[in-house]
């Protein structure tokens, strides 16, 4: 999933000091799941498949982290 323009990777790296690769992987997966939940809430379960096909509608935002 692409990142929205408001995601500051530099800041994210500063606040995750001491995280190992597995921690960062888990953090990113959870942010992706938050994004998916947000889309389901916005568009409903019926339209999730069509939304997944249009990845530009699925962007991980700063708030998702």
Tens-digit pLDDT profile for residues 16-36: 999 999 999 999 999 999 988
The span from the CA of 16 to the CA of 29, in Å, is 15
The span from the CA of 30 to the CA of 65, in Å, is 8
Q: Where are the domains of the chain?
A: 9-64
Q: What is the DSSP letter of 59?
A: -
Rounded to an integer, the average pLDDT of 50-63 is: 76
Indicate whether 37 pLDDT > 90. Answer: no
Tally: H helices and E strands in the chain: 3, 0
């Amino acid at each position: 999933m692409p990142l929205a323009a408001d995601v500051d990777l530099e800041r994210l790296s500063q606040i995750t000091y001491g995280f190992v690769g597995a921690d960062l992987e888990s953090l990113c997966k959870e942010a992706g799941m938050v994004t998916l939940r947000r889309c389901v809430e916005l568009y409903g379960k019926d339209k999730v498949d069509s939304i997944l096909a249009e990845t530009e509608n699925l962007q991980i935002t700063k708030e998702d982290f």
